[in-house]
Structure 1
């Protein structure tokens, strides 16, 4: 395999379907995107790992949203890792790349640099939000932090909020090609049972952690057997197969699921992208009075704002912001 064919699958999400099992899925590889996300900040490795997993899950989940929609994943905890936030922006039109951005907020003094990353979240919740654009009410779903990883939390979210059995197999970390420089890379596979016409609704608690639902509470009969078989096949995947780049996603699917009649669709390219702008900063400040704006004004006589996702820095004339602005932004 040539280097070019290896790189062709980097920063892509490949959707597929297992026709025999009535299961859909996606294979994702993040390379340059993840490196750009993490390059914006100087996170300690324990936080970088959480951001890497969250970004990968966001790419796997977000591929299903429609054009111009936005999917956000937020993890909030009472531990040192207070917030992990990611955004996935659907392509503006067919053939265009999707965009991902992410950032984290954490308590440096409480953070255990030698601990397992997931343990630094503590009690909290995972939320999935979908913005369908102007004129539509955003959708949101929340599930408690459970299991041993963010992937476990996402699986619980789909079982609990969507009644969709879902499985993630992911890996991430610093990778280095021969003669190259170490950089972050991530890869994973997502399996999801196709939705039913009449979703299951539990009348009592599930059999998962804390009474939450899992696939055994939703599927029965042939569906349960098919799901178990597909998951057993996914259990054989190796980390190097997930993260690549020597194994192409199409080859991986054939190796894992050749007996399940895998069918692949067009791959979705993914890029790093932030939507911050001066206009959006001004809009966010439009709810404040002149008195509030004065409190925000620095000794140098400007109002500043920094984007937590990409690090962009904005400096504004205080007389041009707030609902009592006395000058237009372009006024001298």
Structure 2
């Protein structure tokens, strides 16, 4: 196998279905996307790990949704890792890549070593879906749960969507000759019940708990789900990350007895939607007096994009709701 064929799956998400188990899934491989996301900032290693994991989750989840515009994932906590945020933008046209961006906010005055997930502390995991103009954005929130961001996402789908879901993720720096840098990969499984599931509510006055797959599956569906999870437990990090094992080969290795069927892969790329016009719009709620407090000694207002690192400078007279006509937004 040539290097070209090994990396042909980089920055793609491959949808598949296990016909004998009524389970759908996705396999993601991220290469330059992770590099672009992480090279924008000099994150400590533990924060890099959280951002890489969240980016993989975003690629996998974004591809499962009939999305017209944007999916956002957010984790907020009271620990040193205060915010991990990602966006997934649907392809503008058929065959075009979806776009992903991500960033983290953290308190560097507190220790940032140890288990990355522990740096989040108590907080919540949120998924936001915005289908664009003329629609009302959807937001689902669940508390931080489990021992990883992947388990937080699994809890979200059980609690908010009543869909048994499982993730297996791997990421790290590649040492492959001529192809170093960040690499990541993951598998997502999701049970698709034939009818809308309904969890049995806890008795009144009883202890409240977060839901899991066991609350929705019984009989044959439960057997299928348990078998698929046992098979996924055998996956190794190097199989997830690649590039030597292609996603189709991994799918056959894991689930050949489940009747795997693949669909067209979706390319993904790093992409940011920031622009001078959007910065002006975000500042349009401020008065001239407010803008004056943002103005530097050099007589300009500056702004940085937290996602891509883009730097903008503005004439304060062109900002806020009392602004003069802007000179143009292509600066």
Same-fold status (TM-score > 0.5):
yes
Which residue of structure 2 aligns with residue 148 of structure 1?
A: 147
Larger deviation, residues 77-86 vs 103-112: 103-112
Over 3 Å counting, the alpha-carbon distance change for 1:93 and 1:330 in structure 2 is closer
Larger deviation, residues 183-192 vs 59-68: 59-68
Which residue of structure 2 aligns with residue 161 of structure 1?
A: 160
Which residue of structure 2 aligns with residue 59 of structure 1?
A: 59
Matched, 1:231 2:223: no
Which residue of structure 2 aligns with residue 283 of structure 1?
A: 281
Over 3 Å counting, the alpha-carbon distance change for 1:330 and 1:238 in structure 2 is closer
Which residue of structure 2 aligns with residue 292 of structure 1?
A: 290
In the alignment, the residues of structure 2 paired with residue 267 and residue 156 of structure 1 have an alpha-carbon distance, to the nearest angstrom, of 27
Over 3 Å counting, the alpha-carbon distance change for 1:235 and 1:330 in structure 2 is closer
In the alignment, the residues of structure 2 paired with residue 231 and residue 110 of structure 1 have an alpha-carbon distance, to the nearest angstrom, of 37
Matched-pair contact (CA < 8 Å) for 1:91–1:99: yes
In the alignment, the residues of structure 2 paired with residue 40 and residue 210 of structure 1 have an alpha-carbon distance, to the nearest angstrom, of 42
Q: 1:220 Cα deviation (Å)? A: 0.6
1:188-244 CA distance string (max 9 Å, x none): 100001154323144228xxx971000011111111111001111111111111111
In the alignment, the residues of structure 2 paired with residue 48 and residue 210 of structure 1 have an alpha-carbon distance, to the nearest angstrom, of 34
Instruction: Give secondary structure in 2 for the equivalent of 1:211.
Output: coil
Matched-pair contact (CA < 8 Å) for 1:65–1:90: no
Instruction: Give secondary structure in 1 for the equivalent of 2:224.
Output: helix
User: 1:1-332 counterparts in 2 under 5 A?
Assistant: 1-66=1-66, 68-113=68-113, 115-178=114-177, 180=178, 182-204=180-202, 211-330=209-328
How many residue pairs were aligned?
326
Runs of 4+ in structure 1 off by over 6 angstroms are none
Query: Cα RMSD between the aligned structures?
Result: 1.6
Q: 1:24 Cα deviation (Å)? A: 0.2
Which consecutive residues of structure 2, in runs of 5 or more, have no partner in the other structure?
Answer: none
In the alignment, the residues of structure 1 paired with residue 216 and residue 9 of structure 2 have an alpha-carbon distance, to the nearest angstrom, of 34
1:236-269 CA distance string (max 9 Å, x none): 1111111111010001111111111001000000
Instruction: Give secondary structure in 2 for the equivalent of 1:134.
Output: coil
Matched-pair contact (CA < 8 Å) for 1:68–1:93: no
In the alignment, the residues of structure 2 paired with residue 125 and residue 7 of structure 1 have an alpha-carbon distance, to the nearest angstrom, of 35
Which consecutive residues of structure 1, in runs of 5 or more, have no partner in the other structure?
Answer: none
Matched-pair contact (CA < 8 Å) for 2:88–2:98: yes
Matched-pair contact (CA < 8 Å) for 1:67–1:94: no
1:130-177 CA distance string (max 9 Å, x none): 110011001110111111100000000000000000000111111111
Over 3 Å counting, the alpha-carbon distance change for 1:266 and 1:295 in structure 2 is same
In the alignment, the residues of structure 2 paired with residue 210 and residue 12 of structure 1 have an alpha-carbon distance, to the nearest angstrom, of 39
Q: 1:328 Cα deviation (Å)? A: 3.0
Q: 1:112 Cα deviation (Å)? A: 2.7
In the alignment, the residues of structure 1 paired with residue 169 and residue 121 of structure 2 have an alpha-carbon distance, to the nearest angstrom, of 21
Over 3 Å counting, the alpha-carbon distance change for 1:75 and 1:330 in structure 2 is closer
TM-score normalised to structure 2 length: 0.95
Q: 1:93 Cα deviation (Å)? A: 1.0
